[in-house]
Amino acid sequence: MANSQTTEAIEKLAAEIGKNVYIDIAKWHLYLADAKLHILVAQGVYPLLEENRLNEDSVIQILQNIPIKVGGGKREIPLLDLLPLPCQVDLMDLLEEYQRNF
């Protein structure tokens, strides 16, 4: 049962991340849900929320460790490098709000 609750919580968090956070490529905004990255980010940050260890450095490290393939896989760029600073701030705000209601 706990696993089902965890999955549901991650999906809820992923939905919020997916519709509020985007990557910026040549001034085009691609929301993480459209890029199919929202669940991956939610799965990465969820343990921080669950263990009450949320902090900016940990989130940045998680984003740094998510490789995004570009150019048909010729190159990988860390997700952190594709998120504009306002989106990083929005993500932290979203996560802090989620943790308060956790």
CA dihedral 42→45→51→57, nearest 10 degrees, is -160
The helix (H) or strand (E) run that includes residue 31 is strand 28-31
Residue 17 has pLDDT above 80, yes or no: yes
The 3-state DSSP class for residue 32 equals coil
Task: Find the domain containing 26 and state its range.
Answer: 2-100
The 3-state DSSP class for residue 97 equals helix
Quick one: how far is CA 102 from the chain centroid?
17
For position 4, what pLDDT does the model report?
Answer: 83
Please tell me the chain's helix, strand, coil percentages from 3-state DSSP, rounded to the nearest 5. Answer: 60, 15, 25
State the DSSP code for 83.
S
97 contacts 80 by C-beta, under 8 angstroms: no
Q: Place 2 in a pLDDT band, splitting at 50, 70 and 90.
A: low
pLDDT average, residue stretch 64-79 = 96
Residue 1 has pLDDT above 50, yes or no: no
For position 48, what pLDDT does the model report?
Answer: 96
For the chain, give the mean pLDDT.
95
For position 102, what pLDDT does the model report?
Answer: 78
How many domains does the chain fold into?
1
Beta bridge partners of 78: 67
In this prediction the pTM is 0.92
